[in-house]
Chains A and B, each alone.
Chain A
């Protein structure tokens, strides 16, 4: 059964490009070009996954997530961005997106990511993994930190492999773990990224940009 998806991007060209790239596993049930329209379309069509651009007229992807989440907590979001400040991408992820992919992603990978997000997994590309590693750097020594504020050595290993361009499956082979274990590590990292109050996170994001 194909995943029902809504595309939210303010550029018609990008929407039709993405639509054309998506495989048969994905069924685009709606499109929107700004925050208000997105909230309307999503509430009307109740998709499984929303592909949302980080930058949107009317407040950005984070606003769409905040606007929909209360009514439809089951809808999952995947942030799509081309060249954005880390604080924007992280803002969308912290608002509730299950991951972040760049617009240069190829159709098969994007389809795969959407299916994975629909299944409840987190989608981490090399850039997001690198960002998390950087933002959570140097925290291992500080035992006083909250559990949410630091990565376990295993999570760090997984992220480093993802940053090196490994797929989840390749990372699993490399670490001699199951795919499921990798998924759970990544989901745990996503949870920390969304919930941590770590000071460095905000500072890092403000000072840098994911490009």
Chain B
């Protein structure tokens, strides 16, 4: 049975992008599951991703990229979190439950790959020396500090403050951290420039701009990224909140009001029943809006239902309506609805029954409507002339539109049968 439940849930679930989301994995990881997560997301072999990281690691870029992914990419449940530089060291030194079984050996192998690439690059002179890596690393650590040093709630507050006041520098504590981080970034970028001056005088200008840009990006990048993510989450939350408020408002305006009325009129069964029926109908209309329910496309079914609702409300009686088929409302169908309504009113007024059954069928042969009650009945022949309801409003009306009405009444109730042949409608 559990299987069946799961199947149903899967079948009902949206067909989403087949690509798995970018998540740090909690199993089979070497350090923090970054490479495995990327590999899963891109659909490529994890070894390729790891070799790329190792090769880039030579000049620090790989390491920085790895750390950046570690911070920015959300992890699966149980994935290693990087809240503090300590976490990184711990993740490297200790093994956890989700680790790859050959973790040490593999880490060593990738380290060797990195060193090999480094020495090849060093030998050929393509590589970028440590004078580049070091300043860049300082800058990045500065940027990361800005994020690490603040607790999660504080980060959320920054982004919120930033949204509201256009500034996150509203508090002294964070201010110091941010200043410190920014300082580190500036120092890093400056020394990077200094180290490269001799190397490329001509490119200084471009390099300066580029490096400054990178520096700014390093400071604001993660923040912007998070801000974006949180904005999306908040927008979703707001929509949900609006929907909830709408439901609450509706329940308040309708159901709660009716319940209050019911309590105040508890001694009057008729009123209670009428209120309950009306509330039930309104709630259903609201919960399950019918396709043909808007007034612009009035159909036979909606008209008949409206007539029944009207009788329910004005005569404190339950009208159960069953309609098979439907059609656009024209003159003859309107007349049929009016005749049926008259039948319901008669039943409500004089039958003594508590429920009226209405069945209508719109078919190939025409339209038929049956209005039935289980009241005490009457003799159609003995209805006094001045009671013109049945003669004019039901029988006469149907006859004028090419249909007919038959009334059967007995001790077990009354049934009004209206028939409108198809040819009468064309």
- A164 adjacent to B287 (CB under 8 Å): no
- B359 adjacent to A164 (CB under 8 Å): yes
A134 in the interface, Cβ–Cβ < 8 Å? yes
Q: Tally of A-B residue pairs with Cβ under 8 A?
A: 65
Contact of B324 among A39, A83, A130 (CB under 8 A): A130
Smallest CB-CB separation from A85: which chain B residue? Answer: B288
B425 in the interface, Cβ–Cβ < 8 Å? no
A11 in the interface, Cβ–Cβ < 8 Å? no
Contact with B along A26-70 (1 / 0, CB 8 A): 000000000100010000000000000000001100010011000
Residues of A contacting B341 in the complex (Cβ-Cβ under 8 angstroms): none
* Smallest beta-carbon distance A62→chain B, Å: 9
A126-B320, A133-B324 as given contacts; A164 in contact with B415, CB under 8 Å: yes
A163 in the interface, Cβ–Cβ < 8 Å? yes
Smallest CB-CB separation from A67: which chain B residue? Answer: B1
A74 in the interface, Cβ–Cβ < 8 Å? no
Smallest CB-CB separation from A133: which chain B residue? Answer: B324
B280 in the interface, Cβ–Cβ < 8 Å? yes
B27 in the interface, Cβ–Cβ < 8 Å? no
Smallest CB-CB separation from B277: which chain A residue? Answer: A104
A203 in the interface, Cβ–Cβ < 8 Å? no
A153 in the interface, Cβ–Cβ < 8 Å? no
- A160 adjacent to B363 (CB under 8 Å): no
Residues of B contacting A134 in the complex (Cβ-Cβ under 8 angstroms): 324-325
- A211 adjacent to B288 (CB under 8 Å): yes
CA distance A138 to B324 in the complex (A): 11
Residues of A contacting B374 in the complex (Cβ-Cβ under 8 angstroms): 165
Contact of B8 among A59, A130, A138, A165 (CB under 8 A): A59
B5 in the interface, Cβ–Cβ < 8 Å? yes
A127 in the interface, Cβ–Cβ < 8 Å? yes
* Smallest beta-carbon distance A50→chain B, Å: 15
CA distance A160 to B415 in the complex (A): 14
Q: Considering residues B290, B318, B322, B374, which has the most beta carbons from chain A within 10 angstroms of its beta carbon? A: B322
- B325 adjacent to A137 (CB under 8 Å): yes
- B288 adjacent to A83 (CB under 8 Å): yes
Contact count band on A: 20 to 34
In residues 1-53 of chain B, which contact A (Cβ within 8 Å)?
A: 1, 4-5, 8
B361 in the interface, Cβ–Cβ < 8 Å? yes
Smallest CB-CB separation from A134: which chain B residue? Answer: B324
In residues 85-144 of chain A, which contact B (Cβ within 8 Å)?
A: 85, 104, 126-127, 129-130, 133-134, 137-138
Smallest CB-CB separation from A126: which chain B residue? Answer: B322
CA distance A21 to B133 in the complex (A): 82
B300 in the interface, Cβ–Cβ < 8 Å? no
Contact of B280 among A83, A85, A126 (CB under 8 A): A83
- A63 adjacent to B4 (CB under 8 Å): yes
A180 in the interface, Cβ–Cβ < 8 Å? no
A59-B5, A66-B1, A207-B291 as given contacts; A164 in contact with B324, CB under 8 Å: no
A63-B5, A126-B322, A137-B325 as given contacts; A163 in contact with B284, CB under 8 Å: no
Residues of A contacting B363 in the complex (Cβ-Cβ under 8 angstroms): 137
Residues of A contacting B288 in the complex (Cβ-Cβ under 8 angstroms): 83, 85, 209, 211
Contact of B361 among A66, A83, A126, A133 (CB under 8 A): A133
* Smallest beta-carbon distance B161→chain A, Å: 41
Smallest CB-CB separation from B4: which chain A residue? Answer: A66
* Smallest beta-carbon distance B254→chain A, Å: 14
Smallest CB-CB separation from B363: which chain A residue? Answer: A137
* Smallest beta-carbon distance B126→chain A, Å: 63
In residues 173-201 of chain A, which contact B (Cβ within 8 Å)?
A: none
The 15 sampled A-B contact pairs (Cβ below 8 Å) are A59-B4, A59-B5, A63-B5, A67-B4, A83-B280, A126-B357, A127-B322, A130-B323, A163-B359, A164-B370, A165-B320, A165-B357, A165-B370, A165-B372, A211-B284
Identify the B interface with A (CB < 8 A).
1, 4-5, 8, 280, 283-284, 287-288, 290-291, 318, 320, 322-325, 357, 359, 361, 363-364, 370, 372, 374, 412, 415
Closest 9 CB pairs of A and B: A165-B357, A130-B322, A67-B1, A164-B359, A164-B370, A134-B324, A163-B359, A209-B288, A133-B324
A sample of 17 more A-B contacts (CB under 8 A), given A126-B359, A137-B324, A163-B359, is A35-B1, A58-B5, A59-B8, A66-B4, A67-B1, A83-B280, A83-B284, A83-B288, A126-B322, A126-B357, A133-B324, A133-B361, A134-B324, A134-B325, A137-B325, A164-B357, A211-B284
